[in-house]
Amino acid sequence: MLIDSSSSEELRAFQDEIFAGGRPILESQSPKRLPVSGSEVHVATDLGSSAYRRYLRERGITFGVC
């Protein structure tokens, strides 16, 4: 059995280092306005995104941001 001897401070520092690596990429993105409704044909793999669009539409949100 392995015992983790890392302190909470060390773990946070490690997480900060990992997140900092992706930050420039994330911050360089420009969100695009996407219409919530459209005339797409959905398949089974689209269930999650279809449910999310339906959720937005029910709340009167006409554009989402990705």
Q: Note down pLDDT in tens along the chain; length 66 residues.
A: 445 677 888 889 999 999 999 888 888 888 777 666 666 666 778 888 888 888 888 888 877 665
Q: What is the pLDDT of residue 36?
A: 67
CA neighbours within 13 Å on the CB side: how many for 63?
5
Q: What is the pLDDT of residue 37?
A: 67
Q: What is the pLDDT of residue 6?
A: 73
CA neighbours within 13 Å on the CB side: how many for 5?
1
Q: What is the pLDDT of residue 41?
A: 67
Confidence (pTM): 0.37
